[in-house]
Amino acid sequence: MTTDSIEALMRQGLQELYYAEGQFADALDTLADQTTDDAASQAFSDHREETEEQLRRLEQVFEAMGEDPQPMEDAAVKAMIDEHEQFAGENEGDVLDRYNMELGQKVEHYEIAAYGSLASQAEKIGHDEAADHLTETLREEEAALETITEASEQFDEQMIAGD
């Protein structure tokens, strides 16, 4: 893949992130439904609603840049979702709960890296409105990671105490 400018690279990153958020929105419903740990299930459910707003905000970023929102498949995102589907089909109970929490953390780290990079690029090339929207979502993703991490740590403590 050849890209001729930082702006084109940013556009591609936004398209991949738009794809990712759409895929993750659907995945969060699945994670909330199949996770029996109440705190983790609630975190997934709450973040699902927030993800819908983040998708709308990405559309505003595209608009601010004079672009139409177009998703572009991201191989890393597709691999995470495919791997989850396989694992969930073969496992259940506490093991699946913990795996779902781990996946939630991986997704948040992915999103934090993507939003952080794109916000920086937008700011550097003068897309201030886009940078503001991306930074707002970055803060939400950081908060979501913290919530999922706390639920994971509580789950781990309960598992250790129960052994």
The pLDDT of residue 161 is 86
**Among candidate residues 133, 123, 121, the one with its CA nearest the CA of residue 5:** 121
Q: Using the Cα atoms of residue 78, residue 83, residue 44 and residue 117 in order, give the sign of their dihedral.
A: negative
For residues 5 and 76, give the distance between their C-alpha atoms in angstroms, rounded to a whole number: 23
pLDDT mean by block of 10 residues, the chain; 163 residues: 81 97 94 93 92 96 94 97 97 96 96 98 95 97 96 92 74
Q: Torsion-angle region of residue 66: left (phi > 0), alpha (psi -120 to 50) or beta?
A: left
The pLDDT of residue 162: 78
- What type of residue sits at position 157? E
What are the domain boundaries of the chain? Answer: 6-67+79-162
pLDDT of residue 98: 96
Q: Determine the pLDDT at residue 163.
A: 59
| 3 state SS for the chain | CCCCCHHHHHHHHHHHHHHHHHHHHHHHHHHHHHCCCHHHHHHHHHHHHHHHHHHHHHHHHHHHCCCCCCCCCCHHHHHHHHHHHHHHHHCCHHHHHHHHHHHHHHHHHHHHHHHHHHHHHHHHCCCHHHHHHHHHHHHHHHHHHHHHHHHHHHHHHHHHHHC
Q: Which residues contact 51 (CB under 8 A, 6 or more apart)?
A: 21, 24, 25, 28
Q: Tell me: domain 6-67+79-162, CATH 3.40.630.10, correct?
A: no
How much is the pLDDT for 147?
Answer: 94
Per-residue model confidence (pLDDT) at position 160: 86
